[in-house]
């Protein structure tokens, strides 16, 4: 029996509100180190492992720079719906990631926004509306948005399935671009050889 292909995706979580550690880590019991956890998913016919790096609230990550961001397949931006400051800092986190990761196509690189802690006080302390968050997403190439509660396990699985699907779709698109470039280069090279041979034959 043939083994199904397994894909490893590196996911960077940025923001003023911690998400993966604490409740999320306890829930999935998948801690591999102090810095990241993994989550196993099945997307269509592929087995996917998300390697989730949650830097939120950990100042020591700020000095890691390019080496930390390199190789990321998706960036998850997180804010606390009850803290306006965490929402206001999203632009800075977004720009910081693009600066450090330097993706091939910044406009199409997979981002996802999570509005966390929607369970707090029954929503009575909420200060960032869903509309405000969606408007922000629209200004960033319509990135997907989920309202979540890591504590109550609300939308957690849906969010990470979306993360995996978005990253896989981008991976396929990049592969197709690379294949198209190689194919185009080979066509141009072959055309040059035929033309060169034809001209050379006339001189004989």
Residues 131-174 pLDDT 10s = 999 999 999 999 999 999 877 888 988 998 999 998 898 887 77
Stated pTM of the model: 0.76
Residues 69-122 pLDDT 10s = 888 999 999 999 999 999 999 999 999 899 989 998 898 999 999 999 999 988
Question: What distance in Å separates the CA atoms of residue 132 and residue 148, rounded to the nearest whole number?
Answer: 16
The domain locations on the chain are: 6-202
CB 74 within 8 A of CB 166: yes
User: Which residue has tokens 């001209």?
Assistant: 199
Q: What is the dihedral of CA 78, 81, 85, 90, to 10 degrees?
A: 30
CATH topology of domain 6-202: Rossmann fold (3.40.50)
Query: What pLDDT, on the 0 to 100 scale, is given for residue 156?
Result: 85
User: What is the enclosing helix (H) or strand (E) of 197?
Assistant: helix 156-202
Strand partners, 50: 9, 39
Query: What pLDDT, on the 0 to 100 scale, is given for residue 88?
Result: 95
């Amino acid at each position: 029996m043939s083994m199904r292909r397994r894909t490893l995706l590196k996911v960077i979580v940025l923001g003023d509100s911690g998400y993966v550690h604490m409740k999320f880590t306890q829930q999935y019991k998948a801690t591999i180190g102090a810095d990241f956890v993994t989550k196993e998913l099945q997307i269509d016919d592929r087995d996917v492992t998300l390697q989730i790096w949650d830097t939120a609230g950990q100042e020591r990550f700020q000095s890691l720079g390019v080496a930390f961001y390199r190789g990321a397949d998706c960036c998850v931006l997180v804010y606390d719906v009850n803290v306006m400051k965490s929402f206001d800092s999203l632009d800075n986190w977004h720009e910081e990631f693009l600066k450090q990761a330097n993706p091939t196509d910044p406009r199409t690189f997979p981002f996802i926004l999570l509005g966390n802690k929607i369970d707090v006080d029954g929503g009575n302390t909420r200060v960032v509306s869903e509309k405000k968050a969606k408007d922000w997403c629209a200004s960033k190439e319509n990135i997907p948005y989920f309202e979540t509660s890591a504590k109550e396990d609300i939308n957690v699985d849906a969010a990470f399935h979306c993360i995996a699907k978005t990253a896989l779709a981008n991976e396929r698109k990049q592969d197709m671009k690379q294949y198209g470039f190689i194919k185009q280069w080979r066509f141009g090279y072959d055309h040059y050889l035929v033309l060169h041979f034809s001209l050379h034959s006339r001189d004989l």
